[in-house]
Amino acid sequence: MRLYITRHGQTQWNIERRLQGWNDSPLTRIGVKRANDLANRLSGIDFDYVYTSDQNRAIKTADIVLKDKTTRKIQLDSLREIGFGSWEGMTLEEIEEKYEDGFNTYLNDPENYHPIEGESIFQLFKRVSLALDEILKNGGDNVLIVSHGVTIRALLCVIKGIGVDGFKNTHILAGTSLSIFDYKENKFNSICEGDTSHFTKR
């Protein structure tokens, strides 16, 4: 099995540096363009399944990437973005000003991050692990996963076996960047991570 993992395209709140979490905002012109760039890169791949979160920005990105392909699409709420609770809709600057200690803990000591009406890193890892188990169980030769920045960070930690301990050493990948892993005999082999070589300038 080969897993193709991508983040949704750039959104309006990404530009405004607002945390989206379980909220949503529309794809920008650049977000749509780069999703089309990824579609061109993957045009020759016959996907057995496409898994997306149940959030519109991921679904819309998947639709653009697939174009007229009839690949079966499966929405998993376990692939949605981490729930940021009270922080959602706020800019990073507003969060840092109002919740300085909590925000610093989230960035630098995520294992001890305690959300306000949201999800902990441990809760995120639990559902991401369940999502990956379901995807692997369903099988297929080529599988596309369209998810979100923090969720993909956790997913890659699970795939690489570095767990929650390794989370703080990861970073958010660019929207519609591509990470590819081969899965064989219960082992993952990285082909590329966060690759943006398909982005065009026009």
Question: Is the separation of the CB atoms in 41 and 198 below 8 Å?
Answer: yes
- Residue 24: is it exposed, middle or buried by C-beta count within 10 angstroms (0-12/13-18/19+)? middle
Rg of the chain over Cα atoms, rounded to whole angstroms, equals 16
* Element holding 5 (H helix, E strand): strand 2-7
Tokens of 107: 């960035």
Per-residue pLDDT, 202: 66
Q: Which of 37, 36, 32, 42 is nearest to 5 (CA)?
A: 42
Distance CA 83, CA 123 (A): 10
Record the pTM: 0.96
Fill in the DSSP letter of residue 90. -
Question: Is the separation of the CB atoms in 117 and 86 below 8 Å?
Answer: yes
pLDDT 10s digit of each residue in the chain, 202 long? 999 999 999 999 999 999 999 999 999 999 999 999 999 999 999 999 999 999 999 999 999 999 988 899 999 999 999 999 999 999 999 999 999 999 999 999 999 999 989 999 999 999 999 999 999 999 999 999 999 999 999 999 999 999 999 999 999 999 999 999 999 999 999 999 999 999 998 6
Q: Which of 59, 54, 57 is nearest to 127 (CA)?
A: 54
Q: Which of 103, 89, 86, 107 is nearest to 167 (CA)?
A: 107
Per-residue pLDDT, 201: 81
**3-state DSSP percent of the chain in helix, strand and coil, to 5:** 45, 20, 35
Which residue type does 72 have?
Answer: R
Catalytic residue annotation: 8, 81
> What domains are defined for the chain?
2-139+148-195 (3.40.50.1240)
What residues pair up with 178 in beta bridges, in sequence order? 6, 195
